[in-house]
A and B are shown apart, each in its own frame.
Chain A
Amino acid sequence: MNYQYIEQLIERYFECQTTLHEEQILRTFFAGEDVPGHLMQYAELFQSEVNAKAETLGDEFDRKMLALVQEESNKTVQKQKRTTEKPQNRATEHRLAPFFRAAAVVAIALTVGRATDHALRDQAAEGTEDAIAIDPYIRQADIQNAIRVKDISQAKAKPQTDSLIVQPLNETMQ
């Protein structure tokens, strides 16, 4: 075998001048039995690089990955289901929209109605409160008093007028 060619390849290899194909020739050469003593020092380098391919992940990793992927695709299926369900919900919403609107109008009408009703009642209550709280008990009493006083005074007044008439008589009697 022509070692000169191999030696030349090794030299070019360390200069980064070799092609991938030439580097493969070197690996094949060093994997063989007939490596001369003066090149044995490089054997380690080229052999170990071939053996590095032994660094792999086994079947257990595959099983784990496939389970994870299954889980992931289940999730996406669920997501897709959810996204397809949503338009249906929207469709029912669309169909029910007039009812919602009607309900809203009724609700507004009720609220406004109740509010105005309440406000009016409040006003009325205020009015009657005035009438009841101030007039009936105080004024009516006053009125009653006034009436009574009037009655009394009228009653007195009559005698008074009588007495006025009589007074001079009394005075004259006394």
Chain B
Amino acid sequence: MDFSHDILPLKNVLFRTALRITLNREDAEDIVQDTLLKLWERRDTLGNIQNLEAFAITAARNLALDRKELAHNKVIPLNEQEHDQPDKHQLSVHESLVQEEKINHIFELINQLPEKQRTAIQLREIEGKTYREIADIMNTTEADVKINIYRGRNFLKNHCNFSAAEPSSL
């Protein structure tokens, strides 16, 4: 087991998954760091794990959820009870991209989804995972994953339609 070759390449998929949950770049980076270090510390037992990437994503997600819960217990923002809001730093990630506004808009929409839908959508659309893999990562059933993705996609569709219809109605 070599760190640079076997573990470090997981950083980006872990980062995106954690970012989708925490909505904060720094927190997501911390989570990736913790996850990778834990994997490295347990390198002797990792040979028994069939899908290291799925295992790592599960670990990162659990860390992210724990952190989120901790933060949530500390401060309960009155205006953020329904939906998690991305911080300004998170939004600046996409500044360099061409369709900055549109992408920000779709990410804002994704970030408004409940965590389960958000993570399932992330793993399906961005990381290209099968329903089975997502179910394993999220420790749930394929049917549950499908429902979450179904709801997420349709929420995005309805809100995309709305934003696309806006200019034509003006």
Contacts and interface: CB of A to CB of B under 8 A. Distances in A.
A55 B156 CA distance: 20
B60 to A, nearest CB: 12
Interface in A40-82: 40-42, 44-45, 47-49, 51-57, 61-62, 64-66, 68-69, 72
Given A16-B150, A57-B12, A65-B8, A45 B157 contact: yes
Given A14-B153, A49-B126, A69-B37, A55 B160 contact: no
Q: Main secondary structure on chain B at its contact with chain A?
A: helix
Given A41-B160, A57-B11, A65 B103 contact: no
B46 interface: no
A85 interface: no
Nearest to B154: A14
A65 B5 CA distance: 13
Interface residues of A, number: 30
A9 to B, nearest CB: 13
B102 A44 contact: yes
A15 B150 contact: yes
A60 B94 CA distance: 19
A41 B159 CA distance: 10
B33 A65 contact: yes
B113 interface: no
7 contacts: A14-B153, A23-B128, A45-B160, A52-B122, A53-B16, A55-B16, A56-B15
